[in-house]
Structure 1
Amino acid sequence: MNRYPRDLTGYGATPPAANWPGGARIAVQIVLNYEEGSENNILHGDTASEAFLSEITGAQPWPGQRHWNMESIYEYGARAGFWRLHRMLGDLPITVYGVATALARAPEQLAAMKAANWEIASHGLKWIEHKDMPEEEERAQIAEAIRLHTEAVGTPPRGWYTGRCSD
């Protein structure tokens, strides 16, 4: 039998010792993805509506059309979900994975992130698939994401997480 190409064992029964500061036994990282306003939408110049990330089972892109249900899911996150999390987590040191176009479209939410002194990392330019994108186009999108993030936030990204597959 050929060796399976994925590691499903990890450290197994003998994990390495994690020497956390102060003898802590657990480390918690809280990351808030801010993507609302960066999803596929004909209003953004895309050819179809978003279909990848939603609560709509079996969602398909609607070429040339707005998808009101899909838009309302993303709008709810910006209008209500973000503010609820900000009230709950505003005093904690969290990281925001912010999609550059979403941050640029949300000046009030961005101001609240900055006032809370949250670390704002880049989550790419738009919430789109990159896996079949030509390398030069993806490089151009990365450069534009850094430029737009820097313009919107006032500082360059403090980290990067693309979020969707890339070759």
Structure 2
Amino acid sequence: MTESRPIGTERDLVGYAGEPPMGVWPGGRSLAVNIAINVEEGAERSPLYGDASTEGLGEMPRAIDQTGTRDLATESVYEYGARVGCARLIRLLGEREISATAFVAARAVEHNHWLAEVLKSPSIEICGHGYRWAEAWGLSRDREAAEIRRAVQVLGEIFGAPPVGWYDRWMPSVANRELLVEIGGFLYDSNAYNDDTPYYVRVRDQNHLVVPYSLTYNDAHFSYGTFGAPSNFVELVSRGIRLMQNEARLDGRLRMLSIGVHPRISGQAGRASAVEEILDLLAADPSIWVATRRQIAEFWFENIPPSL
């Protein structure tokens, strides 16, 4: 007889049960904020690279749906991110001396040396985002492992050190965390959207740290049409920060907020102005620790050791 299990027991739907760890972030700050720049331009799907179709998520609905036909308009939108958008976002961060994490698909910088140089900033952490910007859950275990190793090698050669973090497109495969532990060298992954606070999971009898990401505080909503004006992004982020700060002041518990931006989206001047407003808000608030994901992971290991 097959043993029945309550629905959801193969997932963790409880987490910290409303009580994340007590504490404060470095400098006595009440909230950690990470800005993640998703660098994917040049690694996306295109028949030019042997893919069946061109990537979506451009500025307009795709006009070309034929298999094997390049959509030069959408390709051109992605090119903007590499040519203009990424440098603009890095400049805005640098002017305010704000650190950020770049989720970098390795192929995006492998043959684009100018873009790689733009990202070589001491305030930018490079996090692995695949070799191609592709869905890892559609790969075999061996192919996924090879793609991770290839990305780590390429990023290590370009930036002088391999990435210590990993974030897949959309969602990981069920084998992803085991592969990250097997390959080694990773402090964390960000393949989850399920919490406001980092947490440990057990992988092959080891403690592995998850630094959650967010699809909520993310400029991809401009592509989906759920953000109408740049001010929508500013308001959503500022409201999230304000409420989390109030929660932390009331209960003294650790929380973080992730803000996701894309060079082809928020690198456009009108949307970059919204990013500029958000950065000014962060820079002006001494109770916020704006940190890279690596810095957050290192703080967590040092101050919140695993209990397993």
C-alpha distance in 1 between matches for 2:115 and 2:62: 30
**Runs of 4+, deviation exceeding 6 Å:** none
* Aligned equivalent of 2:170: 164
CA 22–154 in structure 1, closer or farther in 2 if over 3 Å, else same: closer
Q: CA deviation at 1:56?
A: 4.2
Q: Deviations over 1:50-78 (max 9, x none)?
A: 13x44545788642111122212211211
Match of 2:23 in 1: 18
Query: Cα offset for 1:47?
Result: 2.6
Superposition RMSD on alpha carbons, in Å?
2.6
Q: Which one has more relative contact order, counting CA pairs under 8 Å at least 6 apart?
A: 2
TM-score normalised over the length of structure 1: 0.82
Q: CA deviation at 1:49?
A: 1.4
Greater helix content: 2
Aligned residue among 93, 98, 105 for 1:99: 105
- Deviation digits for residues 68-126 of structure 1, max 9, x if unmatched? 22212211211222121011012322111100000213211211221344111111110
CA contact (8 A) 2:134 2:169 kept: no
Which secondary structure does the structure 1 equivalent of 2:31 belong to? coil
User: Would the aligned equivalents of 2:36 and 2:103 in 1 still touch at CA under 8 Å?
Assistant: yes
Structure 1 alignment gaps of length 5 or more: none
Aligned length, in residue pairs: 164
Q: Deviations over 1:126-147 (max 9, x none)?
A: 0111213211111111111112
Letter in 1 for 2:30: R
The yes-or-no answer on 1:78 pairing with 2:82 is yes
Structure that is richer in strand per residue? 2
1:63 match: 67
Instruction: Give TM-score, length-normalised by structure 2.
Output: 0.47
SS for the counterpart of 1:145 is helix
User: Matches of 2:42 and 2:54 in 1, distance apart?
Assistant: 12
Q: Which amino acid is the alignment partner of residue 88 of structure 1?
A: L
Partner of 1:115: 121
Measured at CA, do residues 65 and 86 of structure 1 come closer, stay the same or move farther in structure 2, by a change above 3 Å?
Answer: same
Structure 2 counterpart of 1:163, which letter?
A: R
| Letter of the 2:40 counterpart | E
**CA distance 1:62–1:56, shift in 2 (3 Å):** farther
Aligned-residue offset at 1:36:
0.5
Q: Higher mean Cα deviation, 18-27 or 60-69?
A: 60-69
Which whole-Å CA distance do the structure 2 matches of 1:9 and 1:130 have between them?
A: 25
